[in-house]
Amino acid sequence: MCAGQTTYHAKAFADDGVVVLKQALGSETMKRVEAAYDWSCAHLSAALQDFAADSNERFIADTGYSIREPVYLELLRETELPDIAAGLFGGESDVWYLGEQIFHKEGPRGTRRTPWHQDTSYMNILGRQMTALWIPLDPLPRECSLEVVRGSHVGVTYNGSRFELGDDTAPVYMDSALPRLPDIESDRSAWDIVGDAMAPGDILAFHLGCLHGGGATHPSMRRRSLTVRFIGDDVVWVERADKPHPNSSIARRAKARASGKAVSGASAGEAAPAPLGERVCLSNKYLRVRPWGD
């Protein structure tokens, strides 16, 4: 699948903030996706997060920007993934790589849900042209897959979830003007939730400002996914100055960075490498991948 084949999804992506692309990736691309995922699992970073409910459950997430690694360079240079992002942006923008994220959920009794949240709550960038391409590596029934609230990218930006056990809406920022996340699971019928059964080769593409969360897994089920995130030329730097809770991913990333560990990504609390309101693409912080940059 190339940009021309996904451009017709651009209006739905702009309006809804989410599209499901069935069998968008062929076997050769999926081999590269698997290789990138395996590399990330073997090289977990200082940004690693462990959300397991108990010692019998494995629920980890790790975020990186592994642009110097051959396995990611090949994934970005030799596959259609950046072209799909370009198509979702309507073919009107160059494309920059924002980084990758891996999830692994598995346990003999199953695993907890991934709490509802918006990626933009944790970031210092905003714009229309922002997409996450969520790629499952295992077949998933509808109830165990990723879900997105349609249109939520143009609504309220909520306080982030700190993925607290027993309270999915526990806020990342202790004193903030951002409203607390709604308890979507307590009244799912009140929300326009998009999701589907997924298989390797499928993509769920969503705007980083959309509310999204992942279903719990069944006993002994394995749920692996690789997300690659891209931005276009309208994305700008914004300020997220709220103080994060000490038991949050943002605080842990800041602590790791302060200790000298390499932690990548555009995070809340990070000093913007350019004036607020300036386009991110002008800062040279991220590699342009369509057309291929230096």
**Model confidence pLDDT, tens digit, residues 5-37:** 677 899 999 999 999 999 999 999 999 999 999
- The answer to whether 185 touches 113, Cβ cutoff 8 Å, is yes
Please report the pLDDT score of residue 261 as a whole number.
53
Please report the pLDDT score of residue 174 as a whole number.
87
* 271: pLDDT strictly greater than 80: no
Question: What's the Rg (C-alpha) of the chain?
Answer: 18
User: Strands 114-117, 212-214: parallel, antiparallel or unpaired by DSSP?
Assistant: antiparallel
- pTM equals 0.93
Q: What share of the chain is helix, strand, coil (3-state, %, to 5)?
A: 25, 25, 45
Please report the pLDDT score of residue 269 as a whole number.
47
Q: What is the Cα–Cα distance from 163 to 114, expressed in whole angstroms?
A: 8
Q: Which residues are registered as beta bridge partners of 58?
A: 106
Q: Whole domain around residue 69: which residue ranges?
A: 3-290
User: Strands 95-106, 193-194: parallel, antiparallel or unpaired by DSSP?
Assistant: unpaired
Q: What is the Cα–Cα distance from 217 to 114, expressed in whole angstroms?
A: 10
**Model confidence pLDDT, tens digit, residues 199-224:** 999 999 999 999 999 999 999 999 99
CATH of the domain at 98: 2.60.120.620
> How many separate domains does the chain show?
1
Q: What is the DSSP string of 15-84?
A: HHSEEEETT-S-HHHHHHHHHHHHHHHHT--TT-EE--SSTT-EEEEEEE--TTSHHHHHHHHHSSHHHH
Q: What is the Cα–Cα distance from 52 to 58, expressed in whole angstroms?
A: 6
The answer to which of 3-7, 127-131, 148-152, 288-292 has the lowest mean pLDDT is: 3-7
